[in-house]
Amino acid sequence: MNWQTYFIEFSYLLASILFILGLKGLSHPETAKRGMHLAEFGMLMAIIGTLMHLEIVSYTWIIVGLLLGSTLGAAMGVWVPMTAMPQRTALSHAFGAFAAALVGIAEYYSYTHGFKPLADLGHIKMSAMGFEIMLGSLTTTGSLIAFGKLQGIVPGKPLVYRGQNIFNMSLLAATIGLFIYLIFVPTAVMPFYIMLTLAFVFGVLLVLPIGSADMPVVMSLLNSYAGLASAATGFVLGNNVLIIAGTLDGFSGFILSILMCRAMNRSITNVLFGAFGSVATAMVGEGQQGVMREVSLDDIAVQLAYANKVIFVPGYGLATAQAQHAVRELASVLE
């Protein structure tokens, strides 16, 4: 092996270690900032290592992509307010998942149109490729719908219709069926594009029945899907750092989804099949129900003066406004 191969392996190993340390750092508020910097440096090492591959014949489009992505990312980081961070996260999931799907589509196209030997497209490689494309496609459209709900472009209320679960399950079964068929008959081009279309449609139908109030759980789950799609991309391309990073992202997102569901007394199966978000179905038999009512400061002062018990329920808005100190002062006054 030449020095470039050694450098690539070293950079990928270092990037993988930094990703793990970064994820560990994000588990605690005191080390979250350091964890983020470690993960950023790990991504930089992964990019540098990838750019050293001997298979690269031209850096033109790579440089264009790096400049475009860096410019867009910097602009979003500077101008997107913290209150819109959930929407920005949803868009990031959509971009990452779409990139994974595009890589899979390009790889399949290269095999079926003579750019690569068709004999090399075996069952195992087609399994990883189909998994990557299927998850990447449904995560792309699902994340875009989540962005639309959070931004107010798509109605935030759960959009339900009669026979919805049966239709969604049938669509999912058809998509998985075509995926399995392609594993054994990878040269079937038409079933491939039908599977791709069904996956895009299923992503939309997966998120539409979910209310905007439940989007954090959905976004965590979509993040898990995007990570698993990236891991499958690593198998397709033979890229170890993609496999490691995607697996970390996928399983951490899935674990986070389960923890969030438990905290909200939700069932993870409801999240997986897009069957919650409607107050009528998700909270039936679970105590009192009501709607949010906006009140003035004077009304709040009167209510607090006569209240016997007050419960503060912190959320993303409180964290974004950094209002924890004001809430603590209010609690001290009430005590």
Domain end: 79, 113, 130, which one?
79
Query: Does residue 191 belong to any structural domain of this protein?
Result: yes
Same domain assignment for residues 186 and 65: no
Same domain assignment for residues 269 and 205: yes
Same domain assignment for residues 95 and 8: no
277: left (phi over 0), alpha (psi -120 to 50) or beta: left
Same domain assignment for residues 37 and 163: no
Same domain assignment for residues 202 and 310: no
pTM for the model stands at 0.80
- Domain extent, residue 35, equals 1-79
Same domain assignment for residues 50 and 124: no
Position 285 scores a pLDDT of 43
| All residues at 6 or more sequence positions from 196 whose CB lies less than 8 Å from its CB, including other chains | 101, 105, 133, 137
Same domain assignment for residues 128 and 61: no
Query: Does residue 88 belong to any structural domain of this protein?
Result: yes
Position 292 scores a pLDDT of 60
Position 320 scores a pLDDT of 60
- CB-based burial, 261-277: b 16+ in 10 Å, e otherwise: beeeebebebbebbbbb
Query: Does residue 22 belong to any structural domain of this protein?
Result: yes
Domain end: 79, 95, 129, which one?
79
Same domain assignment for residues 247 and 118: yes
What is the residue-wise DSSP string for 236-250?
Answer: HHT-HHHHHHHHHHH
CA–CA–CA angle 140, 135, 82 (5° rounding)? 40
Position 26 scores a pLDDT of 86
Q: Provide the number of structural domains found in the chain.
A: 3
Query: Does residue 48 belong to any structural domain of this protein?
Result: yes
Position 317 scores a pLDDT of 67
CA distances from 186 to 100, 113, 223, 225 (A): 19, 13, 28, 23
* Amino acid letter for position 211: G
Position 131 scores a pLDDT of 93
Domain end: 79, 103, 130, which one?
79
pLDDT 10s per residue in the chain (335 long)? 677 888 888 999 999 999 999 999 988 888 989 999 999 999 999 999 888 887 888 889 899 988 998 898 888 888 888 778 888 888 988 999 999 999 999 999 998 887 888 888 888 889 999 999 999 999 999 999 999 988 888 887 778 788 888 898 999 999 999 999 999 998 888 999 999 999 999 999 988 888 776 788 888 888 899 999 999 999 888 888 899 999 998 998 888 888 888 877 777 776 665 444 444 444 444 444 455 667 778 888 888 888 888 888 776 666 666 677 788 888 888 87
Same domain assignment for residues 94 and 228: yes
Could you give phi then psi for residue 106, rounded to 5 degrees? -65, -40
Position 273 scores a pLDDT of 58
Query: Does residue 287 belong to any structural domain of this protein?
Result: no
Position 321 scores a pLDDT of 66
Query: Does residue 284 belong to any structural domain of this protein?
Result: no
Query: Does residue 167 belong to any structural domain of this protein?
Result: yes
Query: Does residue 59 belong to any structural domain of this protein?
Result: yes
Same domain assignment for residues 251 and 322: no
Same domain assignment for residues 238 and 319: no
Same domain assignment for residues 37 and 172: no
Give me 158's structure tokens: 């759960």
